Structure 1
Amino acid sequence: MIDFQRLADWMDELGLPGKGAPIEHGFLSGGTQNEIYEIRRGDERCVIRIPPPGAPADRDKGILREWRIVEALDGSAVPHAKAVAVCEEASVLGRPFYLMGFVEGWSPMGRRTWPAPFDTDLDARAGLGYQLAEGIALLSRVDWRAKGLHDLGRPDGFHERQVDRWTAFLHRIKARELPGFDEAAAWLRAHRPIDYVPGLMHGDYQFANVMFKDGGPAELAALVDWEMGTVGDPKLDLGWMLQGWPEDTNAPEAAGAGYKDLRGMPSRDQLLAHYAEVSGRQVDDIDYYLVLAKWKLAVVLEQGFQRAGDDHKLQAFGPIVLDLMRSAAELAESSGYRS
């Protein structure tokens, strides 16, 4: 449990707004990576992100990586939470942590249905998809070198590393055959993007990791959850976002696509066009990123499945992994893209 009085003292030492006022707090979410609380001091509201006591030691470095990205977004066109303050030492609360501005709005995460007006107005709902694509398009335009993020990732050789890295990862956890893995891996080794322009990327971009402003029309309030943020190829975020997007969002099956009802959403081609317009990047090589995203996500989820035990949620990853890997191999085989 966080020592909120110690946190208040630390905030006062920094002269942050609300000095002297008692802290009110509310738990927002938490897991093995971070615990997140809303902090209220008078009229001031912010959010603390801190690794839980039992988190691995490398999570301390992870929280500081997150902070660097959040801080770098200040002044950019990317919808984001304001960077408030960071504590790099464990002496205050036992782990490094940072404070960011409280974001007004709603998250698609954990919702069974879209809130009004997006529940019934399909024209308004389409705006959610366009805004989702626009978020990473704007992110790709951030001047990461000017923001001091030159050492955040390893952009050189980014694509050359992907297949070897995730193949080695799968071999460490492998307990069953994944049909299509070798075929998709071979295709990825033989292909490369038309062009590769390094940029800031989210790493796990989807509806679950954004917030929207209340009401309509659709407008992003913030991109959130930067645990996987790095400097690499921003178009992999696009592939990640679109890998499960239905070809026809007006078809009945779009209602059960992934974890959201995507009926009324823009088509994949419409989202690609919007991303290209906002980002200034070409998207003719999207098949490469879709194959890579499906193949990589299958490997990531396979780890969860292998650790499932009695966890029904993780057990459900089993058939999803097989579908993703088969889809990656089929797309690779049918793709007309040639690098």
Structure 2
Amino acid sequence: MELPLDRVAAWMDERALGSGPITDVRPLSGGTQNIMLRLTRDGRDFVLRRGPEHLRPGSNKVISRETRVLGALAGSDVPHPQLIAACDDTDVLGDAVFYLMEPIEGFNAGSELPDAAAGDVPKRRDLSFSMVDALAALHAVDHVAVGLTDYGRPEGFLERQVDRWLAELASYDALAGYPGPDIGDVAGVATWLQERVPEKWEPGILHGDYHACNVMFRRDEPAVAAIVDWEMSTIGDPLLDVGWMVATWDLPGAPDEFAGLLARAGGLPSGAELVERYATQTSRDLTHLTWYVVLACFKLGIILEGSNARADAGLAPREIGDRLHTTTVRLFERAHELMDGAS
């Protein structure tokens, strides 16, 4: 997609973000359909992020929310992309809001694993534990103090989850060609969750999609350079992030979906070890963590099944639909295993 970079340059002029032409424009790959471009101006590198080429109804809102949470995290201990400036004027790009951030120097273990880590089990374990440390740092942030009081609706957050995602699954029936979900006992998982909703929890910043493909690791040491892809972030129960990390960790039958080359290399800590590491850095009550892992399997599985439904309707590639359907089935299998072990 070609962007009107002359208009972007004029917008940057107004904010004293360099001068002269924008050069060395190159696309960056990511885990979503959002567009990211690395570009250079006046000797400085920037990354521009906007919604997909064909904007969805909520695309601009998502980008604006990302901008807000990244701005709020400035100066914190949380490794995150450093926000430079945001543009909410859709006239600049014609239809999309966007923002500029500092480039992240590092690698995504979904698609790259440096030789030093590929051949070193202790280093891969350290990379894994650094994910936990970064998440604990995020959950330690006081969302009220950083101005995110109204960033989400924490009241009733856990109680809303099952009905919210059952409704999402039901909405796929409107897609022509989709025969309905064949992903296991959805109702059984829903009932189990609804009967065991934790009564007490502490609101905080929730990343919303925390797994190994949504972090960038540093090249000089086994540590997280930045947590990326904040489009599902909100104020809710941060323990759902922990559940999400465990739910997606070394998933049987779909190990590449959430950790890629890191998962293939093996020698990683277990999900239980990740939780133990998190427990040393939080005062949150982890008594009901199995419930959060099951909820993560339930919610993520339904989200991924949407791609399968869209593929049936000819709105997404069949290969992607098949792959994500398999992942959904594996997530529901993991949910049932956890439920059986907890009963």
State how far apart, in whole Å, the 1-side matches of 2:22 and 2:306 are. Answer: 43
SS of the equivalent of 1:237 reads helix
Give the count of matched residue pairs.
Answer: 327
Contact kept? 1:138, 1:279, Cα under 8 Å: no
Deviation at 1:33, TM superposition (A): 4.2
State how far apart, in whole Å, the 1-side matches of 2:191 and 2:300 are. Answer: 17
Does residue 240 in structure 1 map to residue 247 in structure 2? Answer: no
State how far apart, in whole Å, the 1-side matches of 2:198 and 2:67 are. Answer: 30
SS of the equivalent of 2:117 reads coil
Q: Which residue of 1 aligns with 2:187?
A: 182
Does residue 199 in structure 1 map to residue 204 in structure 2? Answer: yes
User: Structure 1 stretches (4+) deviating beyond 4 angstroms?
Assistant: 30-33, 253-258
Instruction: Please show how residues 244-263 of structure 1 align to structure 2 within 5 Å.
Output: 244-246=248-250, 256=255, 258=257, 259=260, 260-261=263-264, 263=266
SS of the equivalent of 2:141 reads coil
Q: Which residue of 2 aligns with 1:264?
A: 267
Deviation at 1:35, TM superposition (A): 0.7
Q: Which residue of 1 aligns with 2:164?
A: 165
Deviation at 1:4, TM superposition (A): 1.3
Contact kept? 1:136, 1:234, Cα under 8 Å: no
Does residue 56 in structure 1 map to residue 59 in structure 2? Answer: no
Does residue 325 in structure 1 map to residue 332 in structure 2? Answer: yes
State how far apart, in whole Å, the 2-side matches of 1:165 and 1:256 are. Answer: 27
Does residue 117 in structure 1 map to residue 120 in structure 2? Answer: no
SS of the equivalent of 2:275 reads helix
Deviations, residues 73-130 of structure 1 (Å, cap 9, x unaligned): 101000011110011111112221111111111112333xx21211011011101110
Q: Which residue of 2 aligns with 1:9?
A: 10
Q: Which residue of 2 aligns with 1:144?
A: 143
State how far apart, in whole Å, the 2-side matches of 1:327 and 1:82 are. Answer: 36
CA 1:116 to 1:194, structure 2 compared with 1: closer, same or farther past 3 Å? farther
Contact kept? 1:46, 1:101, Cα under 8 Å: yes
Identity of aligned residues (%): 37
Please list every run of 5 or more consecutive structure 2 residues that lacks an aligned counterpart in the other structure.
174-179
Deviations, residues 23-52 of structure 1 (Å, cap 9, x unaligned): 432111379742100121233111111124
Aligned mate of 2:309, from 291, 306, 316: 306
State how far apart, in whole Å, the 2-side matches of 1:319 and 1:50 are. Answer: 30
Q: Which residue of 1 aligns with 2:154?
A: 155
Q: Which residue of 2 aligns with 1:297?
A: 300
Q: Which residue of 2 aligns with 1:250?
A: none
State how far apart, in whole Å, the 2-side matches of 1:126 and 1:330 are. Answer: 25
Contact kept? 2:31, 2:213, Cα under 8 Å: no
Contact kept? 2:254, 2:326, Cα under 8 Å: no
Q: TM-score by structure 2 length?
A: 0.88
Tell me the C-alpha RMSD between the 2 structures: 2.2
Does residue 335 in structure 1 map to residue 342 in structure 2? Answer: yes
Letter in 1 for 2:71: E
